[in-house]
Amino acid sequence: MIRVLKLEFYKIRRKKIGLMLLLLLAAEMMWAFMSTSVSISRNPDQAVWASILFTTSSLNGLFMPMMTAIVVSRLCDMEHKGSTWKLLGALDVSRGRLYAAKYGCAAVLLLLVAALQAMLMTAFGLTQGFTDKFPVEWMVRYIAGTTLVSLAAASVQQWISMTVRNQAFALCLGMLGSFVGLTGALFPEAVRQWLIWAHYLELGPVTLRYADAVGSFAAQSWSPGVAAFAAGTALVCFIFGSLHAGRKEL
């Protein structure tokens, strides 16, 4: 399995996926930093770790679904465009393993994105001189929550990208995911809980609570229900996607 995963990384070594992710990450983090800096300049009480964690978590709703769609689409589209599915199918590796290797490759890249975000937030906090103690637990939870939701989104994306040759649909789904992530807070709770892309904020370590029309940051406990739903979605979509892609005629 490790060998197949290594080969996936070998295949993308000149695809500049990392560069694309860095570009989008730079755009997102610049937005987050500028927004937080403006908040701090208006209200110095906002110079706390919670502010940058909350802003980045909320922006992830817009960016991460699209980044996930791009990564997964890129991994699958190179096989579609190169007409290499038959070549891969003729190898002594099961299609399930190939599917898992692509998913693993996407998962590693998305985990790296979340970790890089945490590092950039740390650097930002240190340069801004945030007054409270560095929240190690929050950072770990941020990485775990972001990666978990991205993994669920990636499993849906991979199913589409693998089985539908035309990547317009996969990218369209990514865009719809971004839309849901961006507007997630507007949906009623009963609807929102079923939309995987709206969970970036819910699995984040910080939330915004309103009292008398004034918002203040508050610690948010880990929601086992949301986490289980995300993990369940990832698992179910991965299994069904793998079975569907495995049985599809090349």
Partner 1 sequence: MIRCFSAEWLKMRHSRIGIVLAVLPGLSLLIGCANYALNRDVLVNGWYSLWTQVSLFYGEFFLPMLVAIVCAYVCRLEHMNRNWNMTLTAPVPAGGVFAAKWAVVALLILFAQTLFMLLYWAAGLLLRMPGPFPAETIGWALRGWYACLSISALQLSLSIRIRSFAVPVGFSLAAVLAGLGLYVAGVGVFFPHSLLTTGMHVLNQDPLAPGQETLFWIMNPAYALLLAGWSIRGLRRRDVATA
What is the binding site for partner 1 (CB under 8 A)?
A: 15-16, 20, 23-24, 26-28, 30-31, 62-63, 66-67, 69-70, 73-74, 77-78, 80-83, 166-172, 175-176, 178-179, 182-183, 186
Nearer to partner 1, 50 or 52 (CB): 52
What is the smallest separation between the CB atom of 239 and partner 1, expressed in angstroms?
25
Nearer to partner 1, 80 or 97 (CB): 80
Other beta carbons within 10 Å of 212: 4
**Sign (positive or negative) of CA dihedral 235, 238, 241, 246:** negative
Nearer to partner 1, 136 or 214 (CB): 214
Contacts of 114 (CB under 8 A, 6+ apart): 142, 143, 146, 147, 150
Nearer to partner 1, 139 or 160 (CB): 160
Contacts of 233 (CB under 8 A, 6+ apart): 152, 155, 156, 196
What is the smallest separation between the CB atom of 173 and partner 1, expressed in angstroms?
10
Tokens of 117: 């975000």
Identify any residues that bridge with 214 across adjacent strands, giving them in sequence order.
211
What is the smallest separation between the CB atom of 42 and partner 1, expressed in angstroms?
16
What is the smallest separation between the CB atom of 182 and partner 1, expressed in angstroms?
7
